[in-house]
Amino acid sequence: MQFQVAAAVSSVQWVDRHIGYAPDFICVFRRGTVDYINAAGARILGFDNPAMVVGLPVSRFLPAGLAGLFERGPERPGPAGLDQPLTFLAGDGAELPADIIVHPLADHRDGAFLMQAWLVGPGHPGHPGHPGHPGSCGCARENTDPEAVDQPGADDLRLASTIFATTSEAVVVLDADFIVMAVNPAFSAITGFSEAEVIGAFPTFIEAVSDSESFRSVLASIGRHGRWDQEQWSHRKSGEEFAKKLSIVGVPSPDGHFGRYVAVFSDVTQRKHDEERIHYQANYDGLTGLPNRTLFMDRLCQSLRLAERAGQRVGLMYIDLDGFKLVNDTLGHEVGDDLLKEAAKRLLFCVRHGDTVARLGGDEFSIIMPDLGESRFAPVIAQRMIETLEQPFILGGREAYISASIGITIFPEDATDSHSLLKNADAAMYRAKERGKANYQFFTADINAEVSERLIIKNGLSRALDREEFSVHYQPKCDLATGRLTGVEALLRWRNDDMGTIPPTKFIPVLEETGLIGVVGEWVLDTACRQYRTWLDAGHPELRVAVNLSVRQLRQPNLARMVEQSLARAGIDASGLELEITESMIMSDTENAVDVLRSLSEMGIRLSMDDFGTGYSSLSYLKRFPVHTIKIDRSFINDIATDPDDLEIIRTIISMGHSLRRKIVAEGVETEEQRMLLRKLRCDEMQGYLLSPPVPPDGIDRLLATV
């Protein structure tokens, strides 16, 4: 059947007219020399006319190793042909990645092969998106001489029949009324329909002609351009969906009318799935399935354009999950991922239809609220999110708790472009964190000033250590019973030439945020140890020096080694050093904190729990840590003389600490009345402005000279 069909439509000219319009590379060669190449193949190789390629050796466009297989004579590259990726070599030397299928043509001539290839990626003449692709209107080839078409040779007929039978693209020959005359084996392989099931019928398997209006559109396109092209989803006989790249061309009769049509299509399902996967990966977060930053910014820009035209407001929220890092670090990354997925679901539950919830990265989310209406509606959604996220997360049989800090900004009141709005919402979120977390804050002008100041501080800190802008001051502690100095606390200070002296409350959080606290903290430890060596040499062995540790330092795997090296560089014993950690800091990572503190204590370093009373203040927790000293937070000392509750709390802490054989230090003592009450309660030591503010080392020297 295939031979007769090929003969009826005239051999090589038929191939060149119809298979030749296929948008991929098709070539026939014998003993390493090109016998035939279609228009797309010629253009892929950089030639304007297929005739310029016929007669050339295949070594001109194939790698040497592969070309050699086809230049040796009648030997086959394999019993069933060759199917592998390769790189084409275009006429200008460009390398074109492609997939190739080669079939031996046993019924043609010895050493003859049919090669079909698909370029990988856009940017090449054979790619459908390229202006020179043969599927474009301007690439239709001139009609061959009708007289020549009617006079095929025997070899030409065999060639046409073989190509028709072996090409991997489906070919459907249609008559002038669009009734199926013939199909090739690839058609049945792709669609599942046999030749007998479609011959003589209208091609309902071509969705583009399934209704009269679409059919007229297809015929109109063929009438204007000689062809019609489209990618579309279809169904196989089994009902399975697949994607095909379809071309329908008209075959002109001698009178100029289309007497035949040929539909050629290939199965591009895998490519379509790959494109969809790539599109998804480019626009959606792989963990939560929410839009990622790229898609989020695109939707935000669209929302602003629509709102500007309609005179509407757009709300933008920036959400940070408080406590997520603790869950991630203590329970593991898998549990952290589960928490993020569950948090995403809860956020989606809280928003309105039409709002966009996106994950910007890490534990940060953002929400676009188009057509917001009144600004007062935003807090309703924000509060709903806070309450929803505060509910316990059950992860792997364990409960985890987080909260949310939310920043809110409004278009057009706060800003009119997407980047400014996002920056504003981020700044408002940081204000929410500074105000205790688990709350929302609107963007205001003073927040903008804070953001600018924070950026200046951040930039300045990056060079402060190299410019020697840091210094260490020391605040003394004394024995309440005798007044004798017992130690000093090392406190970091920063003076910048442009900004002057910056309060620690402003730059310490930035050091923590940027990670510079590790390097700067080690510098403070080295400086304090060297200063202790100076006081030791001056005859003050009783003066222990205390250095504060940060959360990041406590989590450093090499903390104990770093402390040991600082002691060695200063040439002092571990007993002269005290390390202070806050109560909330060790409670955030209990298991790790116990191990680290125990190793430090075993080195002979004394440990002090700072700000005691502001966190758990649990006796059971206190027993677990190898802490030698408890420092009562200054907030309880302030009102000790006027507030009976504070007085009783301090009495309890002192009694509890002494029962555990811990030394008790009162921070922030500023009046003589406070000192007398603490002494009466049998507090061991005090620290505060009543004794001395933090001073440079020579200030401590003067104090030592007077006591």
Q: Which residue has the higher pLDDT, 116 or 220?
A: 220
CATH number, domain containing residue 381: 3.30.70.270
pLDDT confidence bin for 138, thresholds 50/70/90: very low
Residue 318 pLDDT exceeds 90: yes
Q: Which residue has the higher pLDDT, 316 or 588?
A: 316
CATH number, domain containing residue 637: 3.20.20.450
pLDDT confidence bin for 621, thresholds 50/70/90: low
Q: pLDDT at position 613, please?
A: 67
> Is the same domain home to 179 and 255?
yes
* Helices (H), ranges, 351-444: 377-390, 418-434
Residue 579 pLDDT exceeds 80: yes
Structure tokens, 541: 């062995």
Structure tokens, 570: 């200063």
> Is the same domain home to 147 and 228?
no
pLDDT digits (tens, 9 = 90+) for 482-500: 999 999 999 999 999 888 9
Task: Specify whether the CB–CB gap between 401 and 323 falls below 8 A.
Answer: yes
In a domain, 457, yes or no: no
Q: Which residue has the higher pLDDT, 25 or 231?
A: 231
Residue 236 pLDDT exceeds 80: yes
pLDDT confidence bin for 124, thresholds 50/70/90: very low
pLDDT confidence bin for 141, thresholds 50/70/90: very low
* CA-wise closest residue to 622 among 593, 589, 660: 660
Count the domains in the chain: 4
In a domain, 586, yes or no: yes
> Is the same domain home to 523 and 667?
yes
* CA-wise closest residue to 457 among 426, 431, 496: 496
Domain boundary among 128, 162, 196: 162
Structure tokens, 478: 């004394």
Domain boundary among 143, 162, 181: 162
Average pLDDT over residues 176-199: 89
> Is the same domain home to 500 and 619?
yes
Domain boundary among 162, 194, 228: 162
Q: pLDDT at position 12, please?
A: 46
Question: Which of 504-518, 618-632, 677-691 has the highest average model confidence (pLDDT)?
Answer: 677-691
Average pLDDT over residues 345-371: 94
In a domain, 44, yes or no: yes
Q: pLDDT at position 364, please?
A: 95
Q: pLDDT at position 635, please?
A: 87
Structure tokens, 258: 């289309």
Residue 411 pLDDT exceeds 90: yes
> Is the same domain home to 67 and 24?
yes
CATH number, domain containing residue 212: 3.30.450.20
Q: pLDDT at position 673, please?
A: 94
pLDDT digits (tens, 9 = 90+) for 211-225: 778 888 888 888 888
pLDDT confidence bin for 3, thresholds 50/70/90: very low
Q: pLDDT at position 79, please?
A: 40
pTM over 0.75: no
Residue 106 pLDDT exceeds 60: no
> Is the same domain home to 676 and 699?
yes
- Range with the lowest mean pLDDT among 101-110, 465-474, 534-543? 101-110
Spatial separation of the C-alpha atoms in residues 259 and 262, rounded to whole Å: 10
Q: pLDDT at position 8, please?
A: 33
pLDDT digits (tens, 9 = 90+) for 642-664: 888 889 989 988 998 898 889 99
Q: Which residue has the higher pLDDT, 583 or 339?
A: 339
> Is the same domain home to 297 and 270?
no
Average pLDDT over residues 149-166: 57
Q: pLDDT at position 50, please?
A: 85
Residue 352 pLDDT exceeds 50: yes
Structure tokens, 383: 């509060």
List of long-range contacts for 636-645, beta carbons under 8 Å, 24+ apart:
637/666, 637/667, 637/668, 637/669, 637/674, 637/678, 637/688, 638/668, 640/674, 640/677, 640/678, 641/671, 641/673, 641/674, 641/677
pLDDT confidence bin for 360, thresholds 50/70/90: very high
- Who contacts 581 (Cβ-Cβ below 8 Å, separation ≥6)? 548, 549, 554, 593, 597, 607, 608, 609, 610
> Is the same domain home to 407 and 507?
no
Q: Which residue has the higher pLDDT, 25 or 317?
A: 317
Spatial separation of the C-alpha atoms in residues 664 and 677, rounded to whole Å: 14
> Is the same domain home to 132 and 221?
no
Given phi > 0 = left and psi -120 to 50 = alpha, else beta, which region is 431?
alpha
The residue range of the domain holding 157 is 1-162
Q: Which residue has the higher pLDDT, 435 or 137?
A: 435
Give yes or no for a cis peptide into 476 (omega within 30° of 0).
Answer: no
- Who contacts 599 (Cβ-Cβ below 8 Å, separation ≥6)? 560
Residue 567 pLDDT exceeds 90: yes
> Is the same domain home to 145 and 199?
no
pLDDT confidence bin for 242, thresholds 50/70/90: very high
Residue 146 pLDDT exceeds 70: no
Q: pLDDT at position 395, please?
A: 86
Spatial separation of the C-alpha atoms in residues 124 and 556, rounded to whole Å: 52
Average pLDDT over residues 607-630: 73
Q: Which residue has the higher pLDDT, 209 or 522?
A: 522
Q: Which residue has the higher pLDDT, 221 or 133?
A: 221
Average pLDDT over residues 602-629: 76
In a domain, 310, yes or no: yes
- Range with the lowest mean pLDDT among 251-255, 426-430, 687-691? 251-255
Q: pLDDT at position 583, please?
A: 67
pLDDT confidence bin for 123, thresholds 50/70/90: very low
In single-letter form, the type of residue at position 91 comes to G
In a domain, 448, yes or no: no
Mean pLDDT score across all residues of the chain? 82
In a domain, 677, yes or no: yes
> Is the same domain home to 406 and 327?
yes
> Is the same domain home to 145 and 204?
no
Residue 578 pLDDT exceeds 90: yes
Spatial separation of the C-alpha atoms in residues 548 and 364, rounded to whole Å: 30
Q: pLDDT at position 406, please?
A: 95
Average pLDDT over residues 145-174: 63
Spatial separation of the C-alpha atoms in residues 221 and 250, rounded to whole Å: 10
In a domain, 656, yes or no: yes
Spatial separation of the C-alpha atoms in residues 553 and 366, rounded to whole Å: 31
Q: What are phi and psi of 33, to 5 degrees?
A: -120, 140
In a domain, 672, yes or no: yes
